[in-house]
C-alpha cells in the first residue's frame, strides 16, 4: 500500500477540509509535510501558515517576536485614537487584519489563517470538520459528524 | 512608481493624476461609473479593488488639503489685498491677481479628486472579506458581487422627507432619509453551501437651523447611519440537516430564521444584523458577515461522514 504525500494543512474557515495538494516540504515547527501554498512567507525558515498564525497569536501585527504585546493593549490603544478611521485601523490590527489598502498583505496566504485562529478563540466558533483526523488541531475545538452507530459500548460508565 | 509605495506617502498635487493614470483601464472606469456587477475569483476582486482603496485614500487626503489651502489663500489673500490697496493700489491689485491665479491652479485638482471620489466602505469591506470566503470556495470558485460606491446621499436613493419641525434652539429641522444597498454578493462553498448577502445603509440626514444670540442664522447637517446586513445561507441536504438548537454563543442577531423542508430538502438559514455607526463614513467591519455565516453553520448539523479536499 502506498501513502500519498499530501499537504497536512486544513483549508476552510467555517468548515475545515484537507488541502488536497501534494506536499513539497516540511514545517520546521510542527514537522508536518506541507505544500507551497501553505508555507508562510519567511526568509530563513520554513514554517507552515498554521504554525505562523499560532506564533503570532497574541502579538501585535508587525511586532518582532521579542517585542510581543498583548492584543488587549492594541485594543486599549484603539480607544485612545481620535478619528473613527484611526480607531478602525487599530481594531483591525488587534484582530490581525492587515491594512485593506495593502493588496499583498490581504492576498497573503497567511492572513485568513491568522484571522481564523483569532476568530475561533475570540468569538467562540467551532468549525465543522470534513477532513482527515490530525492531533495538531486538537486545540481548535472543532465539531464533527457523530454517528450513534459508532458507540462501541466502552467508556467510563458505571459498572 | 508602484501605487503601493505611494499609498503610505503624503499625497502630491501632480502625483494624484499620475496615480490615476497608473491604474488599469478597468479601475479607471470603475472610479468613473462607481458601480460594478460581476463575478470573479476572490483574489481577482482584491487585485481590482485594493488599488482603488489606496488611490481613494490618497485622493481624499489631497482634496482635504487642497480645500484648506484654497480657503486659506482666499481669506488671507483678500485681507492682504485690502491692506495693500490702502498702502499701494498696484501692490493690492498684484496680490489679488496672485490669489486668483493660485485658486485657478488649485481648483481643477480639487474638482478632479472630487469627481472621482468614491464611497470607500464597499472597497474596504470586500477586500477584508474576500480572502476569508476564498478559503471555503474551491480554487476556481468565484464571488458574485454588486457594488455601489456612489454613497448614500443622492436624490435617487432618497426614501422620504419629514415635515419641518422644531426642537430646543433649532426652530427648523428637516430629516431626509436615504436607503443605499451598497454591497450584494453570493458565493458557493466547497461543501455545497450557497451564501448570499446584502448590506444596506439607512441614513438619516438631519438639517437643522437656529438663530444665535446675535441674530445670525446658522444651519448644520448631521448624518446618522444604520446598516442592515442580511445573509441567506442555503445548506445542501446531502451533507446538512437542521440542528435541534444553536450550538454557538449569542451572536447578537436581530433575526434568525431556519427553514427546514425535511430530511431530503435544503436547510435555509436567514439572519439579519443591524449595525449602528457613529458617523456616515464609518466602514463596516468584515467580521459582521463572518459572524452571520458562522451563526448559520451553528444552526445545522452534518448528516453523514465525508471527507472534502481542495
Å between B163 CA and nearest CA of chain A: 32
Flag if A17 and B309 touch (Cβ within 8 Å). Answer: yes
CA angle (A20 as vertex; B295, A1 as ends), nearest 5:
130
Residues 6+ apart with CB under 8 A from B215: none
What pLDDT, on a 0 to 100 scale, did the predictor assign at position A60?
A: 45
List pLDDT tens digits, range B84-122: 988 988 888 999 999 999 999 889 889 998 899 999 999
Average pLDDT, chain A: 72
Above 50 in pLDDT, residue A78?
no
Residue B277's pLDDT band (cuts 50, 70, 90): confident
Task: Enumerate the residues of chain A whose CB falls inside 8 A of the CB of residue B132.
Answer: 13, 112, 115-116
List pLDDT tens digits, range B244-254: 877 778 888 87
Flag if A18 and B308 touch (Cβ within 8 Å). Answer: yes
List pLDDT tens digits, range B282-296: 889 999 999 999 999
What pLDDT, on a 0 to 100 scale, did the predictor assign at position B49?
A: 92
What pLDDT, on a 0 to 100 scale, did the predictor assign at position B159?
A: 96
Interface mutation target, options B2, B294, B298, B303, chain A, most CBs of A under 10 Å: B294
Average pLDDT, chain B: 89
Q: Grid coordinates representing B269?
A: 438559514
Above 80 in pLDDT, residue A135?
yes
What pLDDT, on a 0 to 100 scale, did the predictor assign at position A91?
A: 58
With pLDDT > 70 as the criterion, what percentage of chain B qualifies? 96
| Helix, strand or coil, per DSSP, at residue B258 | strand
Q: Report, as an integer, the average pLDDT of B168-178.
A: 95
What pLDDT, on a 0 to 100 scale, did the predictor assign at position B190?
A: 92
Q: Grid coordinates representing B149?
A: 460606491
By mean pLDDT, which of B63-72, B246-255, B272-281 is the weakest?
Answer: B246-255
Yes or no: say if B99 and B77 are a contact pair by the CB < 8 Å rule.
Answer: yes
Above 90 in pLDDT, residue B133?
yes
How would DSSP label each residue in B189-229? Answer: -TTS-EEEEEEEEEEEEEEEEEE-TTS-EEEEEEEEEEEEE
Å between B294 CA and nearest CA of chain A: 6
Yes or no: say if A50 and A110 are a contact pair by the CB < 8 Å rule.
Answer: no
Given CB atoms, is A15 within the 8 Å cutoff of chain B? yes
Q: Which one-letter DSSP state was computed for residue A14?
A: S
What pLDDT, on a 0 to 100 scale, did the predictor assign at position A84?
A: 53
Flag if B305 and A145 touch (Cβ within 8 Å). Answer: yes
By mean pLDDT, which of A37-41, A65-69, B190-194 is the weakest?
Answer: A65-69
How would DSSP label each residue in B182-194? Answer: EEEEEEE-TTS-E
Residue A3's pLDDT band (cuts 50, 70, 90): low
Closest residue in chain A to residue B55, using alpha carbons only: A101
d(CA A56, CA A34): 19
Q: How many CB pairs under 8 A join A and B?
A: 125
Residue A94's pLDDT band (cuts 50, 70, 90): low
Above 50 in pLDDT, residue B46?
yes
Flag if B310 and A15 touch (Cβ within 8 Å). Answer: no
Above 60 in pLDDT, residue A76?
no
Yes or no: say if B256 and B269 are a contact pair by the CB < 8 Å rule.
Answer: yes
Flag if B43 and A85 touch (Cβ within 8 Å). Answer: no
Highest mean pLDDT of the ranges A53-57, A76-80, B202-206: B202-206
Å between B213 CA and nearest CA of chain A: 32
Above 70 in pLDDT, residue A62?
no
Residue of A44 and A21 predicted with greater confidence: A21
Nearest to A26 by CA among A13, A38, A16, A10: A38
- A100: nearest CB among B50, B301, B302: B50
Residues 6+ apart with CB under 8 A from A110: A40, A41, A49, A52, A53
Q: Grid coordinates representing B84?
A: 495693500
CA dihedral for B38, B41, B45, B48, sign (positive or negative): negative
Amino acid at each position: 500500500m502506498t501513502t500519498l504525500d499530501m499537504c497536512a494543512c486544513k483549508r476552510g474557515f467555517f468548515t475545515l477540509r484537507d488541502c488536497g495538494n501534494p506536499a513539497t516540504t516540511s514545517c520546521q515547527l510542527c514537522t508536518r509535510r506541507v505544500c507551497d501554498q501553505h508555507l508562510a512567507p519567511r526568509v530563513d525558515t520554513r514554517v507552515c501558515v498554521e504554525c505562523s498564525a499560532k506564533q503570532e497569536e497574541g502579538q501585535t501585527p508587525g511586532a518582532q517576536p521579542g517585542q510581543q504585546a498583548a492584543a488587549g493593549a492594541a485594543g486599549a490603544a484603539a480607544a485612545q485614537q481620535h478619528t473613527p478611521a484611526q480607531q478602525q485601523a487599530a481594531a483591525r490590527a488587534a484582530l490581525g487584519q492587515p491594512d485593506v489598502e495593502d493588496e499583498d498583505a490581504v492576498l497573503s496566504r497567511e492572513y485568513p489563517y491568522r484571522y481564523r485562529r483569532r476568530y475561533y478563540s475570540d468569538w467562540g466558533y467551532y468549525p465543522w470538520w470534513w477532513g482527515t483526523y490530525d492531533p495538531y488541531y486538537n486545540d481548535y475545538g472543532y465539531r464533527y459528524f457523530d454517528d450513534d452507530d459508532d458507540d462501541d459500548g466502552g467508556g467510563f460508565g458505571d459498572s | 512608481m508602484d501605487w503601493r509605495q505611494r499609498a503610505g506617502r503624503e499625497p502630491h498635487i501632480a502625483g494624484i493624476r499620475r496615480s490615476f493614470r497608473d491604474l488599469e483601464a478597468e479601475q479607471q472606469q470603475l472610479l468613473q461609473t462607481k458601480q460594478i456587477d460581476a463575478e470573479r475569483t476572490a483574489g481577482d476582486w482584491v487585485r481590482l479593488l485594493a488599488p482603488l482603496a489606496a488611490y481613494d485614500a490618497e485622493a481624499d487626503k489631497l482634496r482635504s488639503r487642497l480645500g484648506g489651502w484654497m480657503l486659506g489663500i482666499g481669506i488671507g489673500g483678500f485681507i492682504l489685498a485690502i491692506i495693500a490697496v490702502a498702502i499701494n493700489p498696484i501692490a493690492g491689485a498684484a496680490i489679488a491677481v496672485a490669489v486668483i491665479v493660485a485658486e485657478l491652479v488649485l481648483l481643477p485638482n480639487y474638482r478632479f479628486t472630487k469627481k472621482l471620489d468614491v464611497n470607500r466602505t464597499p472597497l474596504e469591506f470586500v477586500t477584508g472579506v474576500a480572502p476569508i470566503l476564498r478559503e471555503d470556495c474551491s480554487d476556481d470558485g468565484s464571488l458574485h458581487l454588486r457594488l455601489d460606491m456612489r454613497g448614500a446621499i443622492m436624490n435617487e436613493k432618497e426614501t422620504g422627507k419629514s415635515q419641518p419641525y422644531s426642537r430646543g434652539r433649532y426652530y427648523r429641522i428637516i430629516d431626509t432619509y436615504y436607503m443605499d444597498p451598497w454591497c450584494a454578493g453570493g458565493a458557493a462553498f466547497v461543501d455545497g453551501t450557497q451564501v448570499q448577502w446584502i448590506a444596506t445603509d439607512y441614513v438619516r440626514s438631519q438639517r437643522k437651523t437656529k438663530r444665535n444670540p446675535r441674530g445670525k442664522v446658522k444651519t448644520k447637517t448631521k448624518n446618522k447611519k444604520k446598516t442592515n446586513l442580511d445573509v441567506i445561507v442555503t445548506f445542501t441536504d446531502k451533507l446538512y440537516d437542521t440542528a435541534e438548537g444553536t450550538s454557538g454563543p449569542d451572536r447578537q442577531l436581530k433575526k434568525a430564521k431556519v427553514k427546514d423542508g425535511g430530511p431530503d430538502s435544503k436547510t435555509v438559514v436567514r439572519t439579519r444584523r443591524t449595525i449602528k455607526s457613529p458617523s456616515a463614513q464609518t466602514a463596516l467591519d468584515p467580521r459582521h458577515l463572518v459572524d452571520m455565516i458562522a451563526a448559520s453553520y451553528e444552526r445545522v448539523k452534518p448528516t453523514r461522514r465525508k471527507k472534502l479536499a481542495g
